[in-house]
Amino acid sequence: MPNLISRLRKLDSCALSDALDSLGLPPAVSGINAQSVRRRIAGSAVTVKLVDKKQKRVGGAVRHLCTAAIEESNADNIVVIEQRTGLDAAAWGGVLSNAAKVKGISGVIVEGPARDIDEAAELDFPVYARHSTARTARGRIYELDFNIEVKVGEVLVKPGTLVMADMSGVVFIQKDRAEEVLIIAERIVSKEKLMTAAVLKGKPVSGVMGADYEKMLDQ
């Protein structure tokens, strides 16, 4: 897994999305953007599912949302949160960003809103989210559980799924398909570098894009 994550960090979401497309797998999720710092992040998912107060489980220990996921995570992890309740309530905030920064966690991806974005930026901690809000989770949403399957965009994300996010999109890769996806993405990056070099040397872009681009995903 560390080798896969290392390779993943060298790629961008566009190449990975193209590779997933070529295999008939779900491509990048759009609309989840860097809220705090503009930095690529990659790692293995530690997941959290949040629900509204109507779905709050009765009995058992009550913990603040996302705290267990942070304590479970390390530098090779990204916390991936589903907050699809429709409520304007933050799934992530400043204290959590500080705790994640201390643990060395690569970043957080929120299908839903996050808050304390200025604080996360000052910490240089990457928060990717569907949007931002100042509204608290308190009394509105709760953690159903962590390290269970969640949904981001139209993609089902299991614990341990490989994750990569940058300014263009968020990509999820199942572990059992990771090697073939990475091989194709690496080949795409190599081809694109050659195409860019050709354009910079003066070759007409119509020729580069027409002849080579349509064959980019040929295996």
CATH 3.50.30.40 residue ranges for the chain? 2-176
Please name the helix (run of DSSP H) or strand (run of DSSP E) that holds residue 67, with its range, or none: helix 67-72
Full-model pTM? 0.91
E runs forming strands in 33-175: 33-34, 41-52, 77-83, 107-114, 127-132, 141-146, 150-152, 155-157, 162-166, 169-173
Q: Select from 86, 69, 88 the least CA-distant residue to 137.
A: 88
What average pLDDT does the segment 17-28 reach? 97
**Number of neighbouring beta carbons within 10 Å of residue 128:** 27
Q: What is the pLDDT of residues 156-210, one digit of tens each?
A: 999 999 999 999 999 999 999 999 999 999 999 999 998 888 889 888 888 778 7
What is residue 198's predicted lDDT score, i.e. its pLDDT? 86
Q: What is the pLDDT confidence band of residue 62, given thresholds at 50, 70 and 90?
A: low
- φ and ψ of 89, to 5 deg: -150, 130
What average pLDDT does the segment 1-21 reach? 94
Q: CB within 8 A of 25, min separation 6: which ones? A: 173, 174, 177, 181
Q: What is the pLDDT of residues 128-169, one digit of tens each?
A: 999 999 999 999 999 999 999 999 999 999 999 999 999 999
Chain mean pLDDT for the chain: 92
E runs forming strands in 84-203: 107-114, 127-132, 141-146, 150-152, 155-157, 162-166, 169-173
Token pair belonging to 19 = 């590779």
Architecture of domain 2-176: 3-Layer(bba) Sandwich (3.50)
